[in-house]
Amino acid sequence: PESVQFEALRHIPGFENCKPFRPGYAIEYDYFPPTQLGYDLETKAVCGLYFAGQINGTTGYEEAACQGLIAGINAHKKVRAEASFVLSRTDAYIGVLIDDLITKGTEEPYRMFTSRAEYRLLLRQDNADLRLTPMAHELGLVSDKQMARAEQKLEGTNSLQFDFENTSITPEAANPMLKLVDSAPIQQKTRLTKLLARPQVSIRALILASQISESEIGSSLNAEILDQVEIAIKYGGYIDKEKELAGRLTNIDHIPLKQDFDYSKLNALSNEAREKLLAVQPKSLGQAGRISGITPADISYLMVYLGR
């Protein structure tokens, strides 16, 4: 209320005689607990009723838009008696947002942060078209031309990566370039992938040094494909580890947790995590992961602890 704002301002030293020109404002809204929803955003209580946006306890334009997209798709599928369309946590940030809402609920306005996703290396902006265009095409949301473009990008990426994995460069060709970027010289022929894994070496510099022509590695050397291959090779080890972790986390619902376990002794967990695990005493690692406030890092630590 304006009266409260003005009185509060005048309690600040130096503002005792201030005359506010315009009050500040805040937005308040009611919401329905999103735990009543399915992955398709249909309410469990009322068949055919879909919720999206602030009514689910989220805040932010993008958060509302992505829910509206999923709810709209599934409302359309509902009237056509088709199977629901669902994105998982490994498919897209939309999948992370919806899974968080319907399994954990929310006690404050929910925003989508990258830190909420376990698979951030897989859910990159540069591969969003490769992950989601096939799904969008099947739904009729993108044209055949757009689908063909995504297929060409994937084919070009796979082809160029294959060539890099099977092509070597001589010291005579590589060392001048390596000297320019302050990277150690090589003494014998070396695979392009091994050199590209070095932080200082870029894919474009390596192509120039190798004197590889487009006719030798294909005609689709556009910027998107170059970036895709460079990311796949430079971060290949990390990406493979994350894929392995993703496969393990899909099965954590089958990993039991001891009842009445004293989580307070696990100092590596945050105070919030220990308090909530003690209060809920989840039956499985999957259930623990769905408790509001439990982070992917907490689950990873519990997996390591159980492995001991």
Q: Estimate to the nearest angstrom the gap between the alpha carbon of 283 and the chain centroid.
A: 27
Between 149 and 246, the more confident residue is: 149
Q: Of 2-6, 217-221, 228-232, 260-264, give the lowest mean pLDDT range.
A: 217-221
Whether the CB-CB separation of 137 and 84 falls below 8 Å is answered with: no
Q: How far apart are CA 7 and CA 117, in angstroms?
A: 43
Q: What tokens were used for 30?
A: 């009611």
Are the C-beta atoms of 133 and 257 separated by less than 8 Å? no
What is the pLDDT, as a whole number, of residue 195? 95
Count Cβ atoms below 10 Å from residue 213 Cβ, excluding itself.
10
pLDDT per residue over 216-236, tens digit each? Answer: 454 456 889 999 999 999 999
- Once rounded to an integer, what is the mean pLDDT over residues 250-272? 85
Angle at 39 between CA 37 and CA 41, to 5 degrees: 50
Q: What is the mean pLDDT of residues 265-288?
A: 84
Calculate the alpha carbon distances from 78 to 32, 140, 247 in Å: 22, 16, 31
Give CA 171 to chain center in angstroms: 40
User: How far is the CA of 219 from the CAs of 103, 115, 156, 159, 212, in angstroms?
Assistant: 47, 38, 8, 10, 12
Is residue 84 over pLDDT 80?
A: yes
Summarize the confidence of residues 99-114 as an average pLDDT. Answer: 88
For 7-55, what is each residue's pLDDT tens digit? 999 999 999 999 888 888 777 778 999 988 888 999 988 999 999 999 9
pLDDT, residue 213, reads 53
Element holding 302 (H helix, E strand): helix 296-307
CA distance 293 to 276: 8
| Residue 118 · residue 245 · CB < 8 Å | yes
149-178 pLDDT, tens digit each: 999 999 999 999 998 999 999 999 999 999
What gap in Å lies between CA 291 and CA 280, rounded to an integer?
8
Do 170 and 189 contact (CB within 8 A), yes or no? yes
Task: Evaluate if residue 215 carries a pLDDT over 60.
Answer: no
Alpha helices for 59-127 (secondary structure H): 61-79, 93-104
Specify the 3-state DSSP secondary structure of 43. Answer: strand
Q: Which helix (H) or strand (E) holds 159?
A: helix 144-165
Residue 92 corresponds to which tokens in the numbers above?
A: 């897209």
What's the confidence (pLDDT) of residue 220? 52
